[in-house]
């Protein structure tokens, strides 16, 4: 899949998949939301507004109120790529969220997931 196709995916379609992934492993939607809030600076109202507006991934990350400065601490492999080596800034942000959700689904403590 080309990067452009990924960027145009609707966040409202991706979000339920993230939630399903963690719920299958006994985690919760609230925990996914907490990860999104931490990474992007969205809060409950602004996240819901993005979902209702049917924003694509490009717009979702462009509208992020405050991307967390600790996001650079997110390392490891996701989808066969080392997160810290991804050069495209938007793809890096997308994969950082993937990595956090993946860690959550694998049972990591929230403090470790959020790099605290």
Domains within the chain, CATH numbers bracketed: 3-110 (1.10.8.290)
87 three-class SS: coil
Identify the CA nearest to 72 among candidates 84, 88, 62.
84
Express each pLDDT in 63-74 by its tens digit: 999 999 999 999
Distance between start and end Cα atoms, the chain: 34
What are the distances in angstroms from CA 36 to CA 4, 33, 45, 80, 113? 22, 5, 13, 22, 11
Express each pLDDT in 23-82 by its tens digit: 999 999 999 999 999 999 999 999 999 999 999 999 999 999 999 999 999 999 988 889
* The overall pTM is greater than 0.75: yes
pLDDT score of 10 more than 60: yes
| CB atoms closer than 10 angstroms to residue 115 | 14
């Amino acid at each position: 899949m080309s990067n452009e196709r990924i960027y145009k995916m609707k966040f409202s379609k991706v979000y339920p998949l993230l939630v399903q992934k963690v719920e299958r492993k006994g985690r919760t939607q609230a925990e996914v939301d907490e990860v999104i809030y931490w990474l992007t600076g969205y809060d409950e109202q602004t996240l819901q507004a993005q979902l209702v507006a049917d924003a694509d991934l490009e717009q979702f990350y462009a509208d992020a109120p405050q991307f967390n400065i600790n996001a650079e601490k997110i390392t490891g492999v996701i989808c066969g790529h080392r997160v810290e080596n991804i050069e495209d800034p938007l793809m890096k942000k997308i994969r950082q969220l993937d990595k956090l959700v993946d860690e959550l689904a694998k049972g990591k403590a929230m403090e470790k997931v959020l790099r605290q």
